Amino acid sequence: MEEQVVAVRVPIEAWPRRGDWKGRVTRVLRKDGDVVKEGEEIAEVEIEKAVLVIEAPVGGRITFRVSEGDEVGPETVIAEIHPPRG
C-alpha cells in the first residue's frame, strides 16, 4: 500500500487573491522525525505585516522542507507529514 503524505504549505488562503507576498521562516518548532498532533504549531513565517502561525493539518511523523531563515511565499511547502497507517 502506498504511504500517504500530507504537504503542509504556506497558506495562500491568508489573502486569497493576493498571492504576491513573501515572508521568511523565523521559527521551526519541531525536529525532523518528530510525531506531531493535528493542530499543533510547527513553524512561524514572518511577513512584514504579521506572523503566520503554521499548524499541522493532520497528526503524524514530520519532515521539514524548509529551515529557519528561508524565504517563502504562498503555497511553499513547509513540511511533509506521514500520518500513521491504518
Binding stretches for other proteins (CB under 8 A): 11, 13-18, 21-22, 26, 44, 46-55
Residue with cell 511547502: 77
Smallest distance, other proteins to C-beta of residue 85, A: 27
**What are the helix (H) ranges across 18-73?**
none
Select 33 or 57, whichever has its Cβ closest to other proteins. 57
Handedness of CA 9, 15, 17, 23 (dihedral sign): negative
Smallest distance, other proteins to C-beta of residue 41, A: 8
Select 47 or 83, whichever has its Cβ closest to other proteins. 47
What cell does 18 get?
493576493
